[in-house]
Structure 1
Amino acid sequence: MELMEISEFFSSQLPDAQKRKQILFAVIPSLIFVIFIVYKIYHIESQVEDFKRIITEKFPPEKCEKNWKFFQGNCYWVNKKRTNWTTSEKSCVQENAHLVSIHTDEENDFVELILGEGQIDGWIGLQLLDDEWAWSDESDTMYTNWKAGEPNENHGIENHAEMWNPGGQWNNNKETRKIRSICKKKAS
């Protein structure tokens, strides 16, 4: 009799098992789809975060004042007022900066670019002190980009450096020449 009861029990449960099987087969694809969507969202968010990090490393948010240009952790400003070297340096100091010191080819190219197009020269922070060329911000002078034949000192009267544009090469000149200038300071 026991076998008969077991058989009846399973027979009575069969329709419920088939219903559960149908429900399970209906729910599983939906569940797999939800898991797939969650995975994709997480993966996309992860990629977006990676992209943001890369962009921030390559192009940090500008931390320069209005009219100043950001480049490699520094801010640069072209003073279009034509002044002599000393007045140009004083103008930069009033802005908590110095005339630009240049330390790489890339920085030199950037300064040439912002100086402007055409025959526009500009003071840079290099000056002759005690027979040594020195930057007004006291940084190292390992990098130079003198034009061929420069600096020539011209009988001791050309003690300050300018950038020639176009070309970005440097020339020494009289402090009294009135040209544009480029200031540089650390980005905040």
Structure 2
Amino acid sequence: MTSTNWPRLGLEQNYCRNPDGSSGVWCYTTDPNKRWERCHVPVCAGSATAPRCQSGWRKYNNHCYKRMTDKASWSTASSRCKQQGAILASVNNHGENNFIGSLISNARDRRLVPSYWLGLTKESGQWKWTDGSRVVYTNWAEGEPSNSMLWSLGQGENCGSMYTKTGKNIGWDPTRHTGQWNDNKCSSRFPYVCEKPI
């Protein structure tokens, strides 16, 4: 629809229109030779535009996620997400787990345990998410969470991560798969995934 086939409907007083359905906005002018023109104005009240994530963030179910490639301890990663107005990612269902798994699966990672921190931590023997929600969905790798005192050098494994690659950590370990979870000592330095609502 254009201004020529959208005759005066008594709407001229409202300067903000989108008569052709495009993403741009048409403005009514006071020039009798040019009644309508494209203009740069804020989105009109009532115009429905889908919420978007900031550049570098990816959308899934009304949340934005970002893969952070700097390596940090779990607590430092949590603080860095907060600086972005976000939290370490929580996983509430299979779909969200697959989305985060795909977000990190192409990460270059040659470490023995290729993982990204999630917002999963253990307090008083209970796993919980940093957003305060209960852990209702899990995707632990076989034999996890193990709380290995050997691997954690006696510190315990109280923070959760997600594997980025399918393979074995060491020869006798069961195969781990991309998207499965592992518990690690919280002082380990991994990249991480931040999440925030749109």
Q: TM-score, normalised by structure 2?
A: 0.61
The letter of the residue matching 1:159 is N
The letter of the residue matching 2:132 is E
The SS at the match of 2:140 is: coil
Matched residue, 1:91: 80
The letter of the residue matching 2:121 is Q
Q: In the aligned structure 2, how far is the partner of 1:182 from the partner of 1:149?
A: 24
Is 1:178 matched up with 2:189?
A: yes
The letter of the residue matching 1:136 is T
The letter of the residue matching 1:106 is G
The letter of the residue matching 1:96 is G
Q: Is the 8 A contact 1:62 1:70 kept in 2?
A: no
Match of 2:139 among 116, 122, 145: 145
Superposition RMSD in Å: 1.7
Matched residue, 1:160: 159
Q: Is the 8 A contact 1:122 1:181 kept in 2?
A: yes
The Cα of 1:61 is off from its aligned counterpart by 3.0
The SS at the match of 1:92 is: helix
Q: Deviations over 1:110-159 (max 9, x none)?
A: 10111141544200000010110010111121000001110011235110
Q: In the aligned structure 2, how far is the partner of 1:162 from the partner of 1:180?
A: 10
The letter of the residue matching 2:60 is F
Matched residue, 1:106: 95
Corresponding residue pairs, total: 129
Q: Is the 8 A contact 1:123 1:162 kept in 2?
A: yes
The letter of the residue matching 2:163 is W
Matched residue, 2:26: none
Q: In the aligned structure 2, how far is the partner of 1:149 from the partner of 1:121?
A: 16
The SS at the match of 2:191 is: strand
Q: In the aligned structure 1, how far is the partner of 2:134 from the partner of 2:77?
A: 21
Q: TM-score, normalised by structure 1?
A: 0.65
Runs (4 or more) in structure 1 with deviation over 6 Å come to: none
Q: In the aligned structure 2, how far is the partner of 1:67 from the partner of 1:180?
A: 16
Q: In the aligned structure 1, how far is the partner of 2:76 from the partner of 2:124?
A: 21
Matched residue, 2:64: 75
Q: In the aligned structure 1, how far is the partner of 2:139 from the partner of 2:164?
A: 13
Q: Deviations over 1:2-57 (max 9, x none)?
A: xxxxxxxxxxxxxxxxxxxxxxxxxxxxxxxxxxxxxxxxxxxxxxx9xxxxxxxx
Match of 2:129 among 135, 140, 149: 135
The Cα of 1:164 is off from its aligned counterpart by 0.5
Q: Whose helix proportion is higher, 1 or 2?
A: 1
Match of 2:118 among 104, 124, 142: 124
Q: Structure 2, unaligned stretches of length 5 or more? A: 1-20, 22-48, 150-154, 166-177
